[in-house]
Structure 1
Amino acid sequence: MLTDKRPIENNILKPIISFNSFGIGLYLNIDGSVRLEDGSAAAGGIVRNRNGEWVTDFNRLLGSCSVFEAELWGILDGLNILIDQGLDNVLIETDNLEAVTTIKESLTGRSNSTLIGRILKLLYQLHHWNICHIPKEDN
Structure 2
Amino acid sequence: MSGPFGPGVSGTCPCGGGTEGLAYAVCCGPLHAGDRPAGTADELMRSRYTAFVVGDEAYLLRTWHPRTRPERVGLDPQTRWTGLTVLRTERGGPDDVDGVVEFVARWAEPSAGTVGRGELHEVSRFGRWGGRWLYVDGEHG
TM-score class normalised by the smaller sequence: under 0.3
Q: Give the alignment's TM-score, normalised by structure 2.
A: 0.25
**Structure having greater relative contact order (Cα 8 Å, sep ≥ 6):** 1
**Structure that is richer in helix per residue:** 1
